[in-house]
Amino acid sequence: MNPPTSPSAEIPVPTVMETGGLGGHPRGLTTLFFTEMWERFSYYGMRALLILFMVKTAAEGGLGFDTKKSAAIYGTYTMSVYLLSILGGFIADNFIGARRAVLIGGIVIATGHFSMAFNSEVTFFAGLVLITIGTGLLKPNISTMVGSLYSPADQRRDAGFSIFYMGINLGAFASPLVTGWLAQSDAWKNQLAAWGLNPLHSWHWGFAAAGVGMTFGLLNYLLQRQRLAHVGHAPAAGARPWGRLGLVALGSLALIAAMKASDDHPALVYVLFALQIAAIAFFAFKPNPDSKRIAAILVFFFAAEIFWAIFEQAGSTLTLFADQLTRNEFFGHAFPSSWWQSVNSVWVILLAPVFAFLWIKLGSKQPSSPVKFALGLLFVALSFVLMVPAAKLTAEGKVGPMWLVALYFLQTVGEMLLSPVGLSTMTKLAPPRLLGMVMGIWFLAAALGNKLAGVLAGEFQATDANVLATFFWHQALAVGACTLVLFALAPWVKKLMGGVH
């Protein structure tokens, strides 16, 4: 029997180990780090304003939509952004290559943000659609290019993704502070008035700032493009699969429609779970190694979906907990509840170097990807276990901020074990001609997790401490059960991965 070969073996990689970039990594990583930092700056900067801008009245400069409509638009947007990654990955794999997909995606994203700088509903919705399409092109393909910088045997790959992840969170941390200040601060509104401009348009300055951020990312990408000359090529000339492109596009739209329909028909969510389990079994028991790797990818997909379903409640359940049940003070100084949104990013910035160091230090002794995933689930489950006593204490009034600080610490440890590792694992497991598509599937897990998080958060209530404690406990138990199953399955999944670790 032939020894298993790594599917990534055909990815073009530099022949000598390149160490001129951040932390002794390839120089291309530095380029991708800053490009993605600015792209995420634009994404999270705009997202921080999105729901607020929709619910504010026209007299406050907003669109005056009701909460239900705004939440529905917000949910569909955040889901679609990740869901269109499959299409973006497919286009890169079969038509234009990852390098060009990132460039075009970035241009489309910047155009989308600048479109939202204008004060009209048409340009607002056009902006959302453009950002969704652009992110679908950029996000999966920039991630696959990080993986392409490393040879299959290079132990630095997971560490490289941890560093890349830090770039994501530098952007995510800084941007709400900038766009939020432009959109909401009196200082900026007064400045606009002093210039003879309409202070109610402050929101659009925030959206424009997101576009400026993406433009910086594009400039950085273009100026340093020669560092990436060896990765992300278009496929060799030949017939292009236009028919399949149509199918993937239609399939993506159908999935968005089905997920929207699950609001009224929650049973659809269970159908989705059943389909995923059936798909794992179907591929796992096929004899060829590529099918077994797809089964492994689907196990990771399932675990990631559960993870994001808890983690992505940060913007809903935990923001409500912060707003209604927490004393938002730091050394005696009160701060707005929305600032909690940055805490996860701060933890990532602090922890990413620790994990990058840990993976390098452990080298070939690091736990396998399925074990890292199971640990990721364990930490996110523990974060909700922690909320059980916190919820009970709310019976006596608001609780201190340390509960949420500790929760975000646990969730971020889980995130560092699962999210950058997941990106890295996808680049190892995907057959090269399907690299972008497989990365798209990875982000589909985020799309579905976001949707599920919305469903779960719908059960949140702040009036009965015991009911709230049960709310957290039940979710912790469910994720705890998934953790145990994944630990038990880890050796089997490792086998399915066929020599890739």
Nearest CA among 148, 157, 116, 161 for reference residue 134: 116
User: Residue 326: helix, strand or coil by DSSP?
Assistant: strand
Nearer to ligand GLN, 40 or 230 (CB): 40
Residue nearest to ligand GLN (CB): 446
Nearer to ligand GLN, 13 or 22 (CB): 22
Other beta carbons less than 10 A from residue 433's beta carbon: 12
Closest distance to ligand GLN from the beta carbon of 168 (Å): 5
Nearer to ligand GLN, 13 or 146 (CB): 146
Closest distance to ligand GLN from the beta carbon of 197 (Å): 32
* Residues lying near ligand GLN in the complex (CB under 6 A): 40, 168, 308, 419, 443, 446
Number of H helices, E strands in the chain: 17, 2
Nearer to ligand GLN, 138 or 469 (CB): 138
Closest distance to ligand GLN from the beta carbon of 252 (Å): 17
Q: Are 108 and 72 in contact (CB under 8 A)?
A: no
Phi-psi region of 366 (alpha: psi -120 to 50; beta: other; left: phi over 0): beta
Closest distance to ligand GLN from the beta carbon of 118 (Å): 26
Nearer to ligand GLN, 92 or 168 (CB): 168
Closest distance to ligand GLN from the beta carbon of 332 (Å): 32
Nearer to ligand GLN, 399 or 453 (CB): 453
Nearer to ligand GLN, 309 or 387 (CB): 309
Q: Give the Cα separation of 481 and 59 in Å (integer).
A: 49
Closest distance to ligand GLN from the beta carbon of 372 (Å): 15
Closest distance to ligand GLN from the beta carbon of 40 (Å): 6
DSSP label of 96: I
Closest distance to ligand GLN from the beta carbon of 44 (Å): 7
- Residue 75 half-sphere exposure, CB side, CA atoms within 13 Å? 26
**Strand boundaries in 48-180, DSSP class E:** none
Closest distance to ligand GLN from the beta carbon of 260 (Å): 19
Q: Give the Cα separation of 416 and 159 in Å (integer).
A: 11
Nearer to ligand GLN, 289 or 414 (CB): 414
Element (H, E) at 222: helix 202-223
Q: Are 424 and 157 in contact (CB under 8 A)?
A: yes
Nearer to ligand GLN, 18 or 305 (CB): 305
Closest distance to ligand GLN from the beta carbon of 443 (Å): 6
Backbone angles phi, psi at 236, to 5 degrees: -55, 150
Q: Give the Cα separation of 26 and 255 in Å (integer).
A: 38
DSSP label of 460: -
Q: Are 172 and 35 in contact (CB under 8 A)?
A: no
User: Residue 333: helix, strand or coil by DSSP?
Assistant: strand
State the angle between helix axes of 27-55 and 121-148 in degrees (0 to 180), rounded to the nearest 10: 160
Residue listed under structure tokens 């359940």? 317
Nearer to ligand GLN, 150 or 443 (CB): 443
Q: Give the Cα separation of 236 and 42 in Å (integer).
A: 33
